[in-house]
Amino acid sequence: MADLGLYALRLGLFLCALGMGAGIFAGVSHREDWTRVAERSVLLVFAAASAAMLALFWALATNDFSLSYVAAHSARTMPLHYRLGALWGGQAGSLLLWGWMLTAYGSVAVIFNRTQNRKLMPWVCVAMLANIAFFLWLVNFETLPFERVPHTNRLSDGNGLNPLLQHPVMMIHPVLLYTGFTGFALPFSFAFAAMVTGELGTTWFRTTRRWTLFAWSVLSAGIMLGGRWAYEVLGWGGYWAWDPVENASLMPWIAGTAYIHSVMIQEKRDMLKTWNLVLIGMTYGLCLFGTFLTRSGVVQSVHAFTNSDSFGRIFLSYVVITLAVFSVALIYRLPQLRSPNKLESVLSREASFIINNWLFMAILFVVFVGTMFPVFTETLGGVRRILGPPYFNTFAGILALLLMVFTGVGPLIAWRKASVASLKRQFVIPASIGAVVAIAVIVIFGFSPGYWAISAWGLGAFVLATISQEYGRAIGARMRRLNESAPTALLTLLRRNQRRYGGYIVHAGVVILLLGVSGAAFNEEKLENLRPGDSTTINDFRLHYLTADAIPAQHYGGAKARVALYRGGDDDRMGTPLAVMTPEKRLYWLEQQPNSIPAIYSSWREDLYVILTAVEPDGSGTFKIYHNPLVNWGWAGGMLFVFGCVVVLWPHPERATVGSDAPAAGEAIPS
């Protein structure tokens, strides 16, 4: 099977070269038969890459330690699902997965465009195959998933997967990230094809709209799952540390979000043609750049794979060449990209979207500078200097608040030009609700939460009020005109205008997520050494240390503490019993790596997060305890966000034809 995988990769690289040649010839000569050759090449490369994937899965499942990749990232003691998950736990396997996903998206493009976009398809195939070829070249010649261990060096067992990655979330999180990253290759390729052919209208982004939204949604879910993994596994009480590799996934998400908003202006007003091409090029470029950061060793992170100077230079060259080719095509087409329409008023939805875009770009700049600052300082001065979380929280936090403002403002402003009177009518209720909530927070807590948390609550209430107002008006209009019940009207809105009303759900999810983040203003933590029978308190919780026992697991050892948790109480009584928490301190024998497994007590208001840092010979335990208010609002907001994405992407029926007595969703809203 390993030999099958190796030859499949070599065949796939050959087919990429064949398909690229056929696509270029078809694009230049306008030969449909050669376009078909290029498209079939994409499908055959997908088949070859799939064979290689299955071969590596088989090697991991059967403990084929004759392969260096299996020996380095798997072990007999690991459960089957983690052995299979080791495919993306290392350098070569993750690059193979990336290449395979590119072939899957390329095949989707070919299958769904058999009878349309025939002028674009040769160049779409060329762009997709060029990207696929690079990753296949890497796994053929640079980092080899099917490289054999010399016979004299073979062992009966492997090194095992990093214990931090042996978690259920890691079976899903990397796959979602890669699905999102590679998904942006599809609109990137169509945009490139549009520039090469001069087909610069709306066809390229309308064709890829749903796939772009799919990639963006999956990337969003992957980022949130990564936060959950960090919260449960890394044992530091938080979910986002502005780690360089976390930022590597965040940067393309920011650019992609800006693109999704900006492209609406081109669709509605035929504006920002150049800017939308820049954004989609930037988005996919940042996907590639993030992969470079993860695998080159340029930045230090628990997530990083390797530290190879030659690999980093090769990958960075690929990123630069890809963006350079895209930029040359864009510059060549600039004269044809001038828009016939101009911004008519600063009081318009177009203006709010443009400001929204520039805020996204400002956040992207903050994250990029903070991520690359150690590299810049080392290059210029020989010493790595790091901009820590305070830098990111300060600058990105201020910009996020401004984004919340325009998240609420945008839906209430008309296209082209809005009157001052209509703005007053639209904003009076939401603005009042936001002000009341902000004042209430100040009255209850004073100014101790800080400006960010107070502003987040006020602006969050404002945004949720605007969303509720939009839903309320649209539902009321349908109830009056069509005598529908409120639930029927709501379902009809979601079914017939998914992009608008599903988008509102996404916005609501983001607001609730940010309200969960604002709970960090009330976080508490303490470090305590307790003997069995001792107690400690934090907030209104009391923790009573019972005992610590040895862990009898097969492939790791350590201790598991038992801590009784109570709410309330005092020195004379324990209070209301809630749970027995069991934090663990592990040492994985094979990997010789320690790991702390926290115990978490959750409610809708807060989490109590307990880490066992050490057990002393006298039986006493050292505990780090965190009280995290509202943290579960963040996870709830994330789930609502994903639900909104599903609503937007869910297949929907055709809209009513002209003359139907059923108004299109949103059109019945009175002005």
Tell me how far CA of residue 601 lies from CA of 147, 565, 626, in angstroms. Answer: 46, 9, 11
Selected residue with higher pLDDT from 653 and 410: 410
Q: What is the pLDDT of residue 663?
A: 37
> What's the one-letter identity of residue 306?
T
Beta-bridge mates of residue 473: none
User: pTM above 0.85?
Assistant: yes
What's the CA gap between 605 and 629, in Å, rounded? Answer: 6
At 258, is the pLDDT very low, low, confident or very high (cuts 50, 70, 90)? Answer: very high
Q: Give the architecture-level CATH label for domain 1-161.
A: Up-down Bundle (1.20)
Q: What is the pLDDT of residues 147-176, one digit of tens each?
A: 998 887 888 888 888 888 888 888 899 999
The pLDDT tens digits of the residues spanning 92-120 come to: 999 999 999 999 999 999 999 999 999 99
Q: For the residues of 517-528, what is the DSSP string, one character each?
A: HHGGGG-EEEEE
SS3 state at 88: helix
Helix, strand or coil, per DSSP, at residue 345: coil
Convert the pLDDT of each residue in 305-355 to its tens digit: 655 667 888 999 999 999 999 999 999 999 999 887 787 777 778 888 889
**28 falls in which pLDDT band (50, 70, 90)?**
very high
Predicted local confidence at residue 554, as pLDDT: 67
pLDDT of residue 671: 26
From the number of C-beta atoms within 10 Å of its C-beta (0-12, 13-18, 19+), residue 263 rates as: buried
Report CA-CA distances (Å) from 263 to 122, 160, 387.
Answer: 24, 46, 33
What is the reported pLDDT for 635?
Answer: 94
Q: List Cβ neighbours of 176 (8 Å cut-off, separation of 6 or more).
A: 218, 219, 221, 222, 225
Mean pLDDT computed over 439-465: 94
Only one residue has tokens 């400002």, namely 362
The answer on pLDDT for 366 being more than 90 is yes
pLDDT band for position 668 (cuts 50, 70, 90)? very low
Segment 509-537 mean pLDDT: 93
- More confident position, 658 or 246: 246
Is the per-residue pLDDT at 475 higher than 60?
yes
| CA 414 to the chain's CA centroid | 31
> b/e per residue, 571-608, with b = 16+ CB within 10 A?
eeebbeebeebbbbbbebebbeeebbbbbbbeeeebbb
Q: Over the stretch 32-79, which tens digit does the pLDDT of each residue have?
A: 999 999 999 999 999 999 999 999 999 999 999 999 999 999 988 888
Res. 530 pLDDT band, cuts 50 70 90: very high
Give first-to-last CA distance, the chain, whole Å. 66
Element containing residue 406 per DSSP (H, E): helix 389-409
Q: For residues 643 and 648, what is the distance between their CA atoms, to the nearest angstrom?
A: 9
When pLDDT is averaged across residues 489-515 and rounded to a whole number, the result is 90
**Residue 555's Cα: distance from chain center in Å?**
32
What are the sequence ranges of the domains in the chain?
Answer: 1-161, 524-632
What is the structure's pLDDT at 662?
37
